[in-house]
A and B are shown apart, each in its own frame.
Chain A
Amino acid sequence: MIPNKLAVRFALGSMALLTLGATVVTAQATHVNSVNPNLGAPSVESEQSHIDGVTGHAYNGKKLYRRFCIGCHGPDGNGEGENAQWIDPKPRDFTEATFKCRSTPTGTLPTDEDLYNAITRGFVTTNMPQWRPLSPQQRADLVAFVKTWSPRWAKEKSGTPLTIPSETPITIDSILRGRAMFQKLECWKCHGPEGHGDGPSAATLTDDKSNPIRPYNFSTGTRFMCGETNQDLYRIFMTGLDGSPMPSFADVVKPDEAWDLVHFLRTMQPLKTQEASLWQSYVSAHGKDIKPIGPDSAAGAQ
């Protein structure tokens, strides 16, 4: 009899525990729903980010978001804050979990570090400023909070970052090969034969929300949207800028070819780079023989 009594007590005890557990779970679920219309998105209470040994917490990021980000990105994270109507390009809609600046393949989630870099760097040519005044901890907290707007962050892992092999030597041959790529891959259709952002399709471009968007104009010499180094440039066209017309070239461009393209792209910027000076001396020696990029060109033949 005694063992039976024990069993009854045990059963009652576990039932009580189960009920308690269920209540906690339900309570949490309602809470998340009240904060976030995206069912199944990570909870603000528990979502974290991990950047270089710093752990960000979404519950801290939420307070920072309400102070610094809500004006443009909006109370619902959908990019419809009160300032959004005056801004072009529009603020990011976090509920779609589509991001331009990634180290990961097109169609995959970025890494925590990608989002952290985006917040730190800001986006030149847009209204998104640099957020270097915020501490690394605060920026990491914001990254964690940004991930609570979409259920994709609960269901999927970040993509595998692109590996970038070390840069090949900057030579005139590399630049010329890159120039042939620029012609062959039809970069000029949007970015223009001389990189002025005025190619035949440039005026028709729209982003994934059907808002008009411009291709990068190399002759401005400004930093790129996703960084400023040759490595950043390599990454931009290999991973593509998701949500924009800029596609990924990772499946069709080999690493050596990608570096060639980087070297050529640099020659179109009015900057004092090694690439630009090599190209200028080539042009002054062979100017007449260089076929212009564009339709009917023999693929930028050397």
Chain B
Amino acid sequence: MRLKYFVALAIVIMVSAAMVVFAQPPAGSGSITGKVTYTGTPPKMKPIDMSKEPSCAKQHTTPVTTENVVTGPGNSLEWVVVFISAGDQGAGGPSQAARYDQKGCQYTPHVLPLEAEQQLQIYNDDQTSHNIHPLAKVNQEWNKSQPPGSPPIDTKWEKPEFIPVKCNIHPWMHGYFVVLKTAHYSVTGNDGSFEIKGLPAGKYTVTAWQEQYGTKTQDVTLSGSEAKTANFVFTATPY
């Protein structure tokens, strides 16, 4: 009797071990592409006066403006994060560290999408002190000073969240960490286009997030290694 139990137990353990070892996420070659645009009137971005910080002001040859709604040709919207919010089957391989820079008293990139638990390195490339203050609610808020020449701040976020980040010393500095559960995401460029690659066949919910206008979602079904199109249109308000 006992022997039988042991054998059964051993089989169960071996099978589950095998499942762990071989449970690689399916690799896919499908993709979702599209364009994010707006209708209506977006707000005018305000000019930023950096004269109080000459070391930053002199890095900019063109006028700097706020970036909460950045538009491009053909009513396109820049800095929109488009990602798989449901139906994601995982992605293999570790992702490398995400890099966030403070340069010319601005955050580059303005919006940084990254995965939960992904390593994040924050650099100060300026000749002035910054304090980096992510206003997290789901994750834990923190606030660190980073004088010029300091090593990068090495950190990570545990849970998915759209986290605004600011520098209290330079109040115009404003950006976002977009912490996602998925490795399948894309940020729109100035032409509003995005491409999410490497998707296996499946049913997906695709979400587009814009910092001022919130989220829009669409369902997309991929049946093989095809390229589907999903366009998003946000309603822009001038305030």
Asked if A184 is an interface residue, CB under 8 A from chain B, the answer is yes
- A selection of 19 A-B contacts at a CB cut-off of 8 Å is A107-B140, A152-B140, A185-B147, A186-B128, A186-B169, A200-B52, A201-B169, A201-B170, A201-B171, A204-B171, A240-B143, A242-B141, A243-B141, A247-B145, A247-B168, A248-B145, A249-B145, A295-B54, A296-B54
A247 touches B135 (CB 8 A): no
B137 touches A247 (CB 8 A): no
B150 touches A245 (CB 8 A): no
**What are the interface flags for A185-206 relative to B under an 8 Å C-beta threshold, 1 for contact and 0 otherwise?**
1100110000000001100110
Which residue of B147, B169, B170 is within 8 Å of A252 (Cβ)? Answer: B147
* Contact A106-B144, Cβ < 8 Å, known A186-B128, A247-B131, A247-B133: yes
Min CB distance A158 to B, Å, is 13
Asked if B153 is an interface residue, CB under 8 A from chain A, the answer is yes
**Chain B interface residues (CB < 8 Å from chain A):** 52, 54, 128-129, 131-133, 135, 137, 140-147, 150, 153, 168-171
| Most chain B CB inside 10 Å of its own CB: which residue of A204, A247, A252, A295 | A247
A247 touches B143 (CB 8 A): yes
| A108-B139 Cα distance, complex, nearest whole Å | 11
Min CB distance B136 to A, Å, is 9
Which residue of B133, B140, B150, B169 is within 8 Å of A189 (Cβ)? Answer: B169
A interface, over-half SS: loop
A251 touches B153 (CB 8 A): yes
| A186-B147 Cα distance, complex, nearest whole Å | 8
| A33-B128 Cα distance, complex, nearest whole Å | 48
Min CB distance A182 to B, Å, is 11
Asked if A82 is an interface residue, CB under 8 A from chain B, the answer is no
Asked if A208 is an interface residue, CB under 8 A from chain B, the answer is yes
Min CB distance A144 to B, Å, is 21
Closest to A108 in B: B140
| Most chain A CB inside 10 Å of its own CB: which residue of B54, B128, B150, B168 | B168
Min CB distance B62 to A, Å, is 23
Min CB distance A243 to B, Å, is 7
Q: Which residues of A contact B153 (CB under 8 A)?
A: 251
| A184-B150 Cα distance, complex, nearest whole Å | 12
Min CB distance B133 to A, Å, is 7
* Contact A201-B135, Cβ < 8 Å, known A106-B144, A243-B141: no
Q: How many A-B residue pairs have C-beta atoms within 8 angstroms? Tell me.
A: 75
B143 touches A251 (CB 8 A): no
Q: Which residues of B contact A247 (CB under 8 A)?
A: 131-133, 143-145, 168
B143 touches A190 (CB 8 A): no
**What are the interface flags for A161-197 relative to B under an 8 Å C-beta threshold, 1 for contact and 0 otherwise?**
0000000000000000000000011100110000000
Q: Which residues of B contact A204 (CB under 8 A)?
A: 168, 171
| A240-B137 Cα distance, complex, nearest whole Å | 18
Asked if A96 is an interface residue, CB under 8 A from chain B, the answer is yes
| A131-B112 Cα distance, complex, nearest whole Å | 45
Closest to A296 in B: B54
A98 touches B141 (CB 8 A): yes
| A72-B209 Cα distance, complex, nearest whole Å | 37
Asked if A143 is an interface residue, CB under 8 A from chain B, the answer is no
User: Given A245-B133, A252-B146, 15 more contacts at CB 8 Å?
Assistant: A96-B141, A106-B143, A108-B140, A184-B129, A185-B145, A186-B129, A186-B147, A186-B169, A189-B129, A204-B168, A208-B135, A240-B142, A247-B168, A249-B144, A296-B54
B141 touches A248 (CB 8 A): no
Closest to A109 in B: B140
Q: Which residues of B contact A58 (CB under 8 A)?
A: none
Asked if A246 is an interface residue, CB under 8 A from chain B, the answer is yes
| A245-B128 Cα distance, complex, nearest whole Å | 17
A240 touches B144 (CB 8 A): yes
A246 touches B143 (CB 8 A): yes
Closest to A105 in B: B142
Which residue of B52, B129, B171 is within 8 Å of A295 (Cβ)? Answer: B52
Q: Which residues of A contact B169 (CB under 8 A)?
A: 186, 189-190, 201
Q: Which residues of A contact B141 (CB under 8 A)?
A: 96, 98, 107, 208, 242-243
| A249-B54 Cα distance, complex, nearest whole Å | 24
Min CB distance B141 to A, Å, is 6
